[in-house]
Amino acid sequence: MGKEKLKRLEKTFKLKFKFTFILPVLLLCIFLIISSCTITNENQIRFYALIIGINNYADTNVPDLDYCVSDAVEMKDALINQGWNESDTVILLDSQASKTNIIQNLNDIFSKASSSDFILVYYSGHGTVIPDTNGDENDGEDEAIVPWDFTYGDYSTLLLDDELGEIFQECPTDKGAIIFDSCNSGGFINKSIRDKGINPKTLTTGSKNPGLNGDLDITSFPVLTASSQDEYSYEIGGEISHGVFTYFILEGMNHGYADSNGDGLISIKEVFSYSKENTIELTENYPSITQTQHPQILFHKSFVDITITR
């Protein structure tokens, strides 16, 4: 075999060797890139929501409400329209919103969520306060929401702020928000006002101090409430047909009115500010409402405002 032919064969061998060596390296790089993209996708922030609305209670001693189910359904729709995944959004209406089911769904979300995820809990229904029995409340009263299966006079069937606090200890993230469109009072609203389509979300359980936000220090999440501690939270029929506070939250989200800085995003503080301003204005001027409703927001000093649009 001539020298020239040997050189050509040697050159061809080197080229084949280089290609044989480089090809696996290229494939490895491609695999790593794909794996990296997959891992990034799996670690993307997820938005979870538990939405609760109760119109009709199991115990006939509890007055039914008119628009809490509509509040909840349209809150879910608003979140989906803002880019939240329907598979990560749970809605409990009327009989679905038993105390056990509410707790179970909270625990289910906490078990799936990571420290980078966002969790929204929304409740529209009756709220109340009862005498504090363990001495952990400065005002001597425990705040509570009223599940569908509440038995009148049996405080153990309420969902107390203390119980919520224990549940939220298992929450893996400090990113989220809780919204309560509810209240309680020392007496039911009289029939003449109910006939005019104005209905406070009230329930008497032994206290004359309305409000569900006095001591709700249950989480690092901001807590948005429809009224202050000694006020009603109203739902109004007709053109509004919602809880007033929720109506303006939905309006602010659905139409972008809450985007106060015009950046195309809506944050927790922005949607609260929009609803608060309009809730006060409406209840202050509505002919049949005698008590203005002042929404409140409670949050820790470390709270960082988070966008609820995606």
The predicted-structure confidence for 17-69, as pLDDT tens digits, reads as follows 444 445 555 555 555 555 555 444 446 889 999 999 999 999 998 889 999 99
pLDDT of residue 160: 87
Give the percent of the chain with pLDDT over 90.
Answer: 48
Residue 190 in 3-state DSSP? coil
Beta strands of 47-86 (E only): which ranges?
47-53
CA dist., res. 245 & res. 248, Å (int): 6
pLDDT of residue 310: 66
Q: For 129, list phi and psi in degrees, rounded to 5.
A: -130, 150
What lies within 8 Å, CB to CB, of 53 at 6+ separation is 68, 69, 70, 71, 72, 73, 75, 91, 92, 93, 94, 97, 123, 124, 125
Kind of pairing between the strands at 296-298 and 242-243: unpaired
134-152, pLDDT tens digit by residue? 554 445 577 788 999 999 8
First to last CA, the chain: 71
pLDDT over 80 (residue 253): yes
175-205, pLDDT tens digit by residue? 899 999 986 432 222 222 333 344 556 544 3
Give 93's strand partners.
53
Task: Copy the structure tokens of residue 282.
Answer: 């409406």
Beta strands of 149-295 (E only): which ranges?
159-160, 176-181, 198-200, 223-225, 234-236, 242-243
Residue 296 in 3-state DSSP? strand
* Nearest CA-CA partner of 128 in 222, 213, 193, 57: 213
pLDDT of residue 134: 56
pLDDT of residue 244: 95
pTM for this entry: 0.79
Angle ∠(185,238,124) on CA atoms, nearest 5 = 40
Residue among 126, 242, 255, 294 flagged as catalytic: 126
Residue among 37, 68, 171, 183 flagged as catalytic: 183
pLDDT of residue 184: 46
pLDDT of residue 309: 79
Topology, domain 47-298: Rossmann fold (3.40.50)
Q: For 55, list phi and psi in degrees, rounded to 5.
A: -95, -50
Give 160's strand partners.
144
Its sign, for the CA torsion 107, 56, 204, 241, is: positive
- Per the annotation, the verdict on 126 as an active-site residue is yes
Task: Copy the structure tokens of residue 190.
Answer: 């009289």
Its sign, for the CA torsion 301, 171, 181, 74, is: positive
217-241, pLDDT tens digit by residue? 556 788 888 888 778 889 999 999 9
Buried b (16+ CB within 10 A) or exposed e, 87-112: ebbbbbbbeebbbebbbebbeebbee
- Per the annotation, the verdict on 37 as an active-site residue is no
What lies within 8 Å, CB to CB, of 124 at 6+ separation is 52, 53, 54, 67, 68, 71, 72, 75, 181, 182, 201, 243, 246
Residue type, position 21, single letter: F
Give 178's strand partners.
121, 223
